[in-house]
Amino acid sequence: MIIAFVILSGCAQQTINQAEKNDIKKTSQEVVTVSIKNFAFNPAVISITKGTKVTWVNEDSAPHTTTSEGSFDSGTLSKGQSFSYIFAEAGTFNYKCSIHPSMKGKVVVA
């Protein structure tokens, strides 16, 4: 009986540890940050999978937007503000800063 308990306890611990590892792995793959700095999106092009959350953070002193016609629009982001969007569908999403149209980026969702 004691041997069975020890064996089962060991299995339960392995299951919990594996579940924790899976959660960490998932979380790190489901969130991507794009900085807005020096009047550019960095990185300008990202490739992600469906369900990934992308967060844009304005690190410039100037206001910016993250705008993809028909998909998402952050509104005006002041320095230090951020905007997040979860990509539920596959496709290519081109976006720009509507205040500074030369600032462009792309999200490719598989």
CA distances to 15, 47, 48, 105 from 67, rounded to whole Å, are: 43, 18, 18, 10
pLDDT of residue 57: 98
Other Cβ atoms within 10 Å of 105 Cβ, number: 22
Show the domains of the chain with their CATH numbers. Answer: 30-109 (2.60.40.420)
pLDDT of residue 80: 98
pLDDT of residue 29: 54
pTM of the model: 0.74
- 3-class DSSP state of 58: strand
Q: In the chain, how long is the greatest CA-to-CA distance?
A: 72
- Residue that has been written with the tokens 């959350």 in this structure: 53
